Amino acid sequence: MRHKRIMLDVLKGAAHFPPPLWMMRQAGRYLPEYRETRKRAGSFLDLCYNPDLAVEVTLQPIERFGFDASILFSDILVVPHALGRDVRFEEGRGPLLTPVNAAEISQLNSETFHVNLSPVYETVRRLRAKLPDETTLIGFCGAPWTVATYMIAGHGTPDQAPARLFAYREPVAFQQLLKVLADHSAAYLIRQIEAGADVVQIFDSWSGVLDDASFDLFCVAPVAEIVRQVKAVHPDVPIIGFPKGAGAHYQSYRQKTGVTGLGIDWTVPLAAAKALQAGGAVQGNLDPLRLVAGGKALSDGVDAILKTLGDGPLIFNLGHGITPETPVAHVEAMVKQVRGATR
């Protein structure tokens, strides 16, 4: 007998209480078992491209906490890596790439893109076979704007000034880069769905640094194109958009991109989140540092979200990824509080 994946019901607009629960970056450094697997993997990218180990770390938080959804263990930068750009991760520094210039954009290599990503598709296939039947499997990609910021700067920056400046100085080349990334990201998500993903999420971690015109052009338009292409092949598969820091743009982002669910960060006031719920499911938005702090800070944050958003379509999550210093006991407390909530 197949068990219901309640997250899929919520993404269709149904209200469930208690709501389904998962965490962004739930497979990661806060878990001792992840750290052990990571040591065996070699490099971080080796972990992403090793289906045996990627499945192992993806399942770890499901086995420990029984979350309602499992998200593929990978990274948003596998897309530029699969297009032939060098990507490496250094401890304490994060991702490092050779910055792309305008002339190199037309030379991005599409020919072996899916071949390079075949280990990721294999990981998704194995996950769907191994996960509990009631657990929703989430595939994902980075949004073109956010991926482009790393490709242009070569590393993370506080305000993505290199990418913004490149976009203003080289508008034709920048639009070409966004198109390449949108087309390949859509194809990547389609393959993940075909391998067994129930839902896909688009992470736009740096949408909050853009002005009005740039937000529409660099953030909204490429994501709308990804949604269009994915829906053309898989019209019934939900797509969650997470434009972190979008602020006043959240409402128009949902309308203009056509995403099914809206991931909201912890700066979104709950009254505003309630208004966004009128347009469909919202996901979030506990401050990750409340989870680090634990105690009253955590319980008050959880209570406020459940009280304000619990009678509508809600996927309980953090407002960004869990941080490495988070105590496991605090995650256990959060899960217990959400699961044990009553109206």
Q: Which residue has the tokens 């990824």?
A: 321
CA gap 4, 9 in Å, rounded = 9
Residue 2 has what pLDDT?
Answer: 57
Q: What is the mean pLDDT of residues 10-23?
A: 97
Examine the pLDDT at 131 and tell me if it is beyond 60.
yes
Residue 91 has what pLDDT?
Answer: 80
Q: Report the DSSP beta bridge partners of residue 89.
A: 95
Question: Which residues are identified as catalytic?
Answer: 25, 29, 38, 75, 150
Residue 254 has what pLDDT?
Answer: 97
pLDDT tens for each residue of 221-250:
999 999 999 999 999 999 999 999 999 999
For residue 112, count other CB atoms closer than 10 A to its CB.
12
Pick one of 2.70.98.90, 2.40.50.840, 3.20.20.210, 3.40.190.10 as the CATH number of 22-289+317-328: 3.20.20.210
pTM reported for the whole predicted model: 0.97
In percent, the amount of the chain with pLDDT more than 70 equals 99
Residue 170's Cα: distance from chain center in Å? 28
For the chain, domain boundaries:
22-289+317-328
Examine the pLDDT at 1 and tell me if it is beyond 70.
no
Residue 256 has what pLDDT?
Answer: 98
Q: Which two tokens stand for residue 34?
A: 């992840």
Higher per-residue pLDDT: 332 or 92: 332
Higher per-residue pLDDT: 94 or 204: 204
Residue 264 has what pLDDT?
Answer: 98
pLDDT tens for each residue of 152-196:
999 999 999 999 999 999 999 999 999 999 999 999 999 999 999
Q: Name the band, by pLDDT with cuts 50, 70 and 90, for residue 92.
A: confident
Closest CA to 312 of 17, 6, 15: 15
Examine the pLDDT at 90 and tell me if it is beyond 90.
no
